[in-house]
Chain A
Amino acid sequence: MDASALIAWLEASRVATAIRNSLYLFPLIESVHVIGLTLVFGTILIVDLRLLGVASTRRPFSVVAADGLKWTWVAFAVTATTGALMFVTNASTYYHNIYFRTKMSLLVLSGLNVLIFDLTARRSIYTWDEKPRAPRVGRIAATVSLVLWISVIFLGRWVGFTTSSQPATEPGVNLEQLENLIPK
C-alpha cells in the first residue's frame, strides 16, 4: 500500500467520516488538542528553563525533570491522539500541506534532541545536578528544544490557517449533515 492509498483509506474510515459529519466533534477534538499541547509545552518549558539556569535553580535538575516530564508524556499522548483524529478527518489535505509536513519534521527533530541530551549531558548529571545551570551541551539542548517547540506551535496555527477545508464551517451548507436528517 503506497502513501496516497493509505491516506485515502484513512480519510474514508468510519472515524474520519463520523468527525466530518458532526458539527461539534472537530471543534471539541481541536480544543482537547490545545489543552494537551499547552501542558506539553508548559511542562517542557519548566525543565528547559531549569537547564538554562533561569528558574527553579535551587532544586536539583533531576527532581525538576522527574516532576515535569512524566506529565509531558501524558499530555503528549493526549495531543498526539487528538492530532491523529484531526489528521484522518482531512488526511489528504494535511498530508500535502507544507506547514504540516514541516511541523511533523520538527517533532521528529525534537525527539532526536531529547535522545542526544540523554546520551550526552544526562550521562554526567552527577557532576551538575545541583548546580544552578547545566553544562553547555545541556543549555544548547534546552535552547534547541524551546526553538523547536515554539516553532511547532506556530506551524500548527499555520496549518489551521492554510487548510480551509475544515468540516462544517457553516451549519447551513453541510450537505452530508442534511442528508442524515432524511429518514431512510
Chain B
Amino acid sequence: MHQFADWLSKTPLSLAIQTREWIIPTIQSVHIVGIAVVMGSVFMIELRIWGWVGRDQTVAQTTARFGPWLIGALAVLLVTGAVMVVGEPERELLALSFWLKMILVAIGTVVAVTFQRAVEQRDRAWETAIAGRRSVSAAAIVVLLIWFGVIVLGRLIAYDYVWGSWSLKG
C-alpha cells in the first residue's frame, strides 16, 4: 500500500490536485454537504420507522421520498472521496481510520439498497406488520450508529495517530 500510495501521489492527476491548494478544502466541503444529505435522509427514514415523524406517510412513501437522495448523495461522496484519495494518497490510504470507514460505508450502502428494495416489494406488509417489529426498530438504531461511525472515522483520518501503532503510517 505504501508503494501504491507513493506511485499514485506522483501521477499527473494527483500532482495537479496537490499544486492547487483550493481543491482539497473545496472537495472536502462538497463531501460534507453530501454527508448531510445522506444523514438527513437516513435520519428521516429511521424516525419514520420508529413512528416519531411523518405518520401521515407510509414507510414506503418515506423511503420513496428520501431513498433516491440517499443514493444520489452516496454517488457524490464516492466521486469527491476519490478526488481526495488521488490528491492525498498517503493521508487516506495509510490511515487505519480510512479503511475502517470504507468497511462501514460498504455495510451502510448494502443495508440502504437492500432496505429500499425490500420496502418497494412489500409495501403493505411493511406498513401493517414489519415496521412495527422490535427487531426492525433495533436495526434502525444500528444503521444510524453505522453512519455516525462513518463520520467519526472520516474525521479521524486527519488524526490517525489516535490508533497508535495500528496506523499504517507508522
Contacts and interface: CB of A to CB of B under 8 A. Distances in A.
B158 interface: yes
User: For the side of the interface on A, what is the size category?
Assistant: 20 to 34
B43 A43 contact: yes
Interface stretch (B11-19, B32-40, B109-117, B126-134): B32-40
A171 interface: yes
Contacts of A38: 32, 35-36, 38-40, 151
Contacts of A154: 25-26, 29
B28 A42 contact: no
Interface stretch (B1-9, B49-57, B83-91): B49-57
B166 interface: no
B40 A42 contact: yes
B156 A153 contact: no
A34 B151 contact: yes
B65 interface: yes
A39 B162 CA distance: 26
Interface in A133-165: 150, 153-154, 156-158, 161
Interface residues of B, number: 32
Given A23-B162, A35-B152, 16 more contacts: A23-B161, A31-B155, A39-B39, A39-B43, A41-B40, A43-B43, A45-B37, A59-B56, A63-B56, A67-B47, A68-B53, A71-B53, A150-B33, A153-B29, A153-B32, A171-B161
Interface of A: 23-24, 26-28, 30-31, 34-35, 37-43, 45-46, 55-56, 59, 63, 67-68, 71, 150, 153-154, 156-158, 161, 170-171
Interface of B: 25-26, 28-29, 32-33, 35-41, 43-44, 47, 53-54, 56-57, 65, 69, 148, 151-152, 154-156, 158-159, 161-162
- State the 10 A-B residue pairs at the shortest beta-carbon distance, nearest first: A42-B40, A67-B53, A41-B36, A38-B36, A38-B39, A27-B159, A31-B152, A154-B29, A31-B155, A42-B36
